[in-house]
Amino acid sequence: MAIVATDWTITRATGIIDYTGNDHGGGSPSYATVIEFHRWVQDLADDPEFTGSTGDELDIIDNTPSDRSTDNIITLINGFTITPAAAEHLYDGSVISGDIGVDRIVYDGIVNFGNADVQIQIMQDGVVLVDDWWNFSGAGLNADPNAGISHRFMLKTHDFAGDGGDIDGRRLVGTTRTFGNTYAEFKINGTSNGNNVLALVDSNDLNNDTAEGTVATWTTIDNTTEGFVQLDVNNNGSDEDYYSEWNRDTYTINQFYERMKWLTRDGSTSTLYGLNGELFRGITHELDVDGGTGTWGTPEHEEITWGSGATAGTARLLAVDNKTGSSATKIWFQILTGVVPTDNATITGTTSTATADAELSGGALTERPISTPFVGASTGSALIGSYGLSLETADLSASDTVFDLTNTAVYPPNNVTFTVGGVVSGEDRVLVTNNAAGDIDFTQMALASLLNGATVTAVDVGLGNIPADTPSTGTIRIERDDGLYSRHPFSVYDSGNQTFTITSHDFSANNASAANDVFVSYIDKLAAATSESFTTVYNADRTLFVRVRDGGTAGDNEGIKTAETTGVLGTNGGSVTINRISDV
Amino acid sequence: MAVAAYATDLTDITTAETISGWSALGGGQSGLSDETDYFIQGSQCVSKTGFTATTKGQLFNAGTTTITAGDAVFIWVKQNNRNLMDTVALGGSQVCMGSGTGAFDRFYTDGNDSDGSALAGWRTYCVDPTDTPSATTGSPGAYTYFGNQWKIQGSGSLKGNPNGIDAIRHGREIQCTAGEAANYATFDGAAVYDSATTRAWGLITPASGSYQFHGAFVMGTSGTAVDFRDSDRVIVVLEDEFVPSGFNEFEIRNASSNVEWNNIQITALGATSPGILTLDVGTFTGVACFFTDLATTIFNSSSTVTGCTWNRCEAVTPDGADMSGSSILAPDVAANNSGLIWNVNTDPDGLLDGMEFSKTSGTAHHAIEFGLSIPTTSITLRDCNFGTDFSATEDGSTGDETFHFKDTTGTITLNLVSCTGNFGYRTDGVVVTVVADPVTTAVNVKNSAGSNISGARVLLRASDGTGPLPYQDSVTITQSAGTATVTHTAHGLVTGNYVVITGASPEEYNKQAQITVTGVDAYTYSVDSGLSSPATGTPVSTGAIISGTTNASGNITDSRTLASDQPVTGYARKSTTTPFYKSGRISGVVDNVNGVSFNIILIVDE
């Protein structure tokens, strides 16, 4: 569509070229490519005289108004400029005006290859541009569906008088965050003159079908810890590092996922880590630091800055591994403007005033992957989390995956529970052991060394001999030299699956010699409820031997016949129900 | 082609090879003789015995004779007693044509006072039978009798038969066709062929190193072209009183004809039919020819006529011919008419170079008339001399101005380069600007491939105040009915010049505009009616040398007189239709002596 000349004016005295037609939402707004615009002004420029009624004050007596580098790069020269309104009605390239270092303004072309109804937002210079006029009536301006183009428009990327030059290095981040749809983002690390491509597509997110208004009410989903936090998500006895610990309360993991999308959707007014949800993207960089000073805030998130001029940058601090500045060795942040820190650049918290020096000679600056949405992906029943984000361990299941701040996948354990039901509290003695042909597996383990001390707390059964699915706490039985099996609670066992730490016990009078039997008594107690259970981390199916006895000395004072059975502890746990047969 | 051929359209009435059919006039039938002692055609003529103090002659009864309109009767007559004839006015020798010996018209063609009358010899009298006779005998009907009689004064000789009549014919043309190397058609060839005893047409007759001619000298026919080349000939056009004005003519026919005259001199002996030069067909080349007392001349654009002179001739119409170096001297034209008429849409620059014009004393005529068909913007004459007898008044009305512009509207610039004399002009309405000794500012616009760009808009204006053109001179502007009137002190511009107005408000005043000068301090140009008046702001005016678009050759030029060098700047642009070009900047100085040529290369912008 050629330019609609009646929608444009040129003022000879000022060189201002303005769009005066209908606005985007008006009756018949018009748009023109930059080459059509160039052709139009050039057409006027070789006229013998302008026609007063058109408002196009340009003809042969005027200086040349424009110069074409390519069909997509037009430079207005000799003082001619376009207004912001005009810029909103031109597309498919760049329009440059003004003198370098004086009053130069550059509008660069943005082309999004995406689905026709995708709605996109632009982050520029640390903010999400408020006026997204390029999204129009549920579609994009100047779309070309045949070419797979959803939007074509121009953005100001350089304004010497207004911004001192390039606007944030002409860096842009395009996002699409329509709640209910998939999210995406696409970075332009410095626009070039001409068209700059975004590739933002979205589609219905099948795991995000709850009404927006409903998700808005899930306010008990809370960011328990904002900032550096250490969690043993995989229950391996060693904590991993995260920048966030969320509590999903009673909501499912998918509902948690939807809530995270809601917080960061287009139009969000929520605040995450001190940033508007629309602007929050998650950690973009991990940086080794040293030489810090002061104390970082609690929570850590605050604006941090470094450098000046071409080396300047700002970011939102999301985690620091030690709030004592002098002890901090790593920080994690979402960059907002500028460039990443150079070696030894001093990074300063604008609120805490704490500092840290970038350590790139002995350390590293690592760009971390961005997830869209920032929380990661949902399978509907599990979360594939994003870099550094975790939930409370109890809010995770074995089907979830999170990534710690080393970007290592961390898998929560499969905590399975074996339940013995049908027991009577206060009467029944319950014993659950590994099954050995319908009996206790006495030889499940064997002592590696003599126990004869008065305060024995370590029970060595040999390296790797403690079964992997042994609960982290519980009880074991140890064969004493007198032939009896004494019961010993243990609070932990070592990572080598070799040594139990038991409650201190005197073996001096009744030793337990090496090679004596040791077995785990998974349940080894008087029933305190109608059922008893234990939880452990599933490793492989295990057949358990269950014995329940009531000697009739408590409760109803009626004994039962010894009840024995077996059950399997599988991936989903297991259970047995005791058939109590009175022995009266 | 073939060897030159000659023919005529004359038809014999009689060849006088016998006295049969002849009757005596004034008596003396027995005195008629088959005269073999003297004759000019064939082997005899018809003579009559001498007589005195009376009028006698002889008539031939030709019966019904049809003479085509425009033709004439040619009659060979010899009077050996020429000194005894009466004067012409008293009918010394009379061509007679009538319906009988008692009823005939008498055309007084000769007498003892006619030029060369002292010389005896044969003469051809040419009489248009539709002309008014000098006298009439009886009441003649349709002409069937043709002859001649003489009025001999007293003491005439009675010896022998001094009164002879030879061939009598009717018609007009001698026709030259064909011609090839070493045997081109020539005047001499035609005359020799004509004058052979077997023909003696009497159209062109050798006479003492020259040629006597009357009738129509036709070079080429509709069916056959001619290659006619001759030089160093002197031709006199005989004075025949009883023919129409256009009877005698030199005419080219057939578009393929080629006629080359070198040092051909043609002189008319009389004013009745002095001879028309109708040379506007085929190709004519004339060099150093000299025409005296002839009637009108017309050429075409294929004609080249260099160094030729028309002396006391009627108007010359080149019609695009190259007449460089020729002269139009003392032309025989009426008051307010012109010696040369230029009326084609071609700039005479290069075609009328070096011509000389002089004025006929006592007649208020012009040197050159520019007709309605000339170029509409500017024309140029170079190295012409107009003398000082023409009026020097510009926009004069005395009829003797050097130039006469016939157009009634528009504007025209006449550039006179190295011309001398007076440069006054008369105009029938067109606004004329005479620019003496202009310099040319030429702009040629090409693309990078070297091809000329047609239709490129060019504006070239003063770039500073060091030249003669105004540069950003403060002006005041008012508007009324769509005409902006600019008060511009001592602007020095002329009507048709361009100015660039800037700084005025409303903006519609600001433009490049062609002006009409209304005074030394004022001019006007067109604007939208309704503009608030006077213009506000700080309007200034800058003179422009060129404003317009290039022609098919990529050129646009301006010619004007500049008192000093003129720095200029501007643009060449073509960006309305494909191929589009980037705007091209022009900057330089127009030398006030040599002008300047700008060669602009536009870069394709697509």
Nearest to A187 by CA among A110, A73, A264: A110
What pLDDT does residue B332 have?
A: 97
Give the DSSP H/E element, type plus range, for residue A87.
Answer: helix A84-87
Q: Which of A45, A50, A61 sits opposite B502 (nearest CB)?
A: A61
Residue of B nearest to A10 (CA): B507
What token pair was written down for B285? 């080349």
Contact A59 B512 (CB under 8 A): yes
What region, left, alpha or beta, does residue B208 occupy, with left being phi > 0 and alpha being psi -120 to 50 degrees? left
Contact A49 B513 (CB under 8 A): yes
Contact status of B457 with chain A (Cβ, < 8 Å): yes
What pLDDT does residue B225 have?
A: 97
Residue of B nearest to A58 (CA): B511
| Backbone angles phi and psi of A263, in degrees to 5 | -65, -25
Give contacts of A68 with chain B, Cβ < 8 Å: 582, 605
Contact B576 A60 (CB under 8 A): no
Asked if residues A101 and A95 have their Cβ atoms less than 8 Å apart, the reply is no
Contact B573 A13 (CB under 8 A): no
Distances from the Cα of B90 to the Cαs of B114, B123, B238, B271, B459, in angstroms?
A: 12, 19, 21, 21, 76
Contact status of B511 with chain A (Cβ, < 8 Å): yes
Contact A43 B456 (CB under 8 A): no
Contact status of B512 with chain A (Cβ, < 8 Å): yes
What pLDDT does residue A52 have?
A: 65
Tell the residue number behind the tokens 């008088």, with chain if given: A161
Contact A42 B605 (CB under 8 A): yes
Contact B575 A67 (CB under 8 A): no
Contact status of B454 with chain A (Cβ, < 8 Å): no
Contact A46 B575 (CB under 8 A): yes
Of the residues B471, B498, B505, B511, the best mutation for testing chain A's interface (the one with the most A CB atoms within 10 Å of its CB) is B511
Tell the residue number behind the tokens 């018609």, with chain if given: B171
**Positions of chain B with pLDDT under 50:** none
Burial class of B124 by CB neighbour count within 10 A (0 to 12, 13 to 18, 19+)? buried
Asked if residues B13 and B144 have their Cβ atoms less than 8 Å apart, the reply is no
Contact B459 A60 (CB under 8 A): yes
Nearest to A103 by CA among A161, A16, A169, A158: A161
- Compute the distance between CA of residue B328 and CA of residue B296 in angstroms, rounded to an integer: 12
What pLDDT does residue A583 have?
A: 87
Q: What contacts B354, CB < 8 A, 6 or more positions away?
A: B324, B325, B382, B383, B384
Nearest to A479 by CA among A456, A432, A433, A446: A446
- Compute the distance between CA of residue A10 and CA of residue A32 in angstroms, rounded to an integer: 16
First to last CA, chain A: 99
Strand partners, B366: B338
- Compute the distance between CA of residue A512 and CA of residue A32 in angstroms, rounded to an integer: 92
Give contacts of A36 with chain B, Cβ < 8 Å: none
Give contacts of A13 with chain B, Cβ < 8 Å: 507
Asked if residues B269 and B238 have their Cβ atoms less than 8 Å apart, the reply is yes
Residue of A nearest to B581 (CA): A42
Contact B507 A67 (CB under 8 A): no
Q: Which of B457, B507, B582 sits opposite A60 (nearest CB)?
A: B457
Residue of B nearest to A67 (CA): B582
Separation in Å, CA of A56 to nearest CA in chain B? 10
Contact B573 A68 (CB under 8 A): no
Residue of B nearest to A70 (CA): B606
Separation in Å, CA of A362 to nearest CA in chain B? 54
What token pair was written down for A195? 């068209």
Distances from the Cα of A410 to the Cαs of A24, A234, A239, in angstroms?
A: 49, 6, 11
Dihedral angle of Cα A424, A427, A433, A437, to the nearest 10 degrees: -90
Contact B512 A68 (CB under 8 A): no
- Compute the distance between CA of residue A349 and CA of residue B367 in angstroms, rounded to an integer: 98
Dihedral angle of Cα A535, A539, A542, A544, to the nearest 10 degrees: -20
Q: Which of B512, B575, B576 sits opposite A49 (nearest CB)?
A: B512
What is the DSSP code string of B77-143? EEETTGGGB--TTTTSEEEEEEEETTEEEEEEEE-TTSTTTTS-SEEEEEE-TTSPPSEEES---S-
Contact A52 B575 (CB under 8 A): no
Of the residues B459, B577, B583, B585, the best mutation for testing chain A's interface (the one with the most A CB atoms within 10 Å of its CB) is B583
| Backbone angles phi and psi of A530, in degrees to 5 | -75, -10
ipTM: 0.73
Q: Which of A42, A53, A67 sits opposite B580 (nearest CB)?
A: A42
Q: How many helices (H) and strands (E) does chain A have?
A: 5, 46
What pLDDT does residue B156 have?
A: 60
Separation in Å, CA of A33 to nearest CA in chain B? 14
Tell the residue number behind the tokens 């049969």, with chain if given: B20
Q: Which of B461, B511, B573 sits opposite A46 (nearest CB)?
A: B573
Separation in Å, CA of A25 to nearest CA in chain B? 32
What length is written for chain A?
584
What pLDDT does residue B154 have?
A: 82
Contact B507 A64 (CB under 8 A): no
Separation in Å, CA of A161 to nearest CA in chain B? 27
What pLDDT does residue B512 have?
A: 94
User: Within its chain, how far is the Cα of A2 from the centroid?
Assistant: 46
CA angle centred on A534, ends A530 and A536, rounded to 5°: 160
What pLDDT does residue B182 have?
A: 87
Contact B507 A57 (CB under 8 A): yes
- Compute the distance between CA of residue A379 and CA of residue A387 in angstroms, rounded to an integer: 17
pLDDT tens readout for residues B441-492: 999 999 999 999 999 999 999 999 999 999 999 999 999 999 999 999 999 8
Contact status of B513 with chain A (Cβ, < 8 Å): yes
Contact A60 B580 (CB under 8 A): no
- Compute the distance between CA of residue B294 and CA of residue B270 in angstroms, rounded to an integer: 9
Contact B512 A47 (CB under 8 A): no
Separation in Å, CA of A43 to nearest CA in chain B? 4
Q: What contacts A27, CB < 8 A, 6 or more positions away?
A: none
Asked if residues B64 and B142 have their Cβ atoms less than 8 Å apart, the reply is yes
Half-sphere exposure of A259 (CA within 13 A, CB side): 22
pLDDT tens readout for residues B208-224: 889 999 999 999 999 99
Contact B512 A61 (CB under 8 A): yes
Give residue ranges of A with CB < 8 Å to any B CB. 12-13, 39, 42-43, 45-50, 52-53, 57, 59-61, 64, 67-68, 71
**Positions of chain A with pLDDT under 50:** none
Q: Which of A52, A60, A71 sits opposite B528 (nearest CB)?
A: A52
What token pair was written down for A125? 């210079």
What pLDDT does residue A54 have?
A: 67
What length is written for chain B?
606
Q: Which of A42, A43, A59 sits opposite B511 (nearest CB)?
A: A59
Nearest to B416 by CA among B375, B377, B371, B385: B385
Separation in Å, CA of B571 to nearest CA in chain A? 8
What pLDDT does residue A1 have?
A: 57
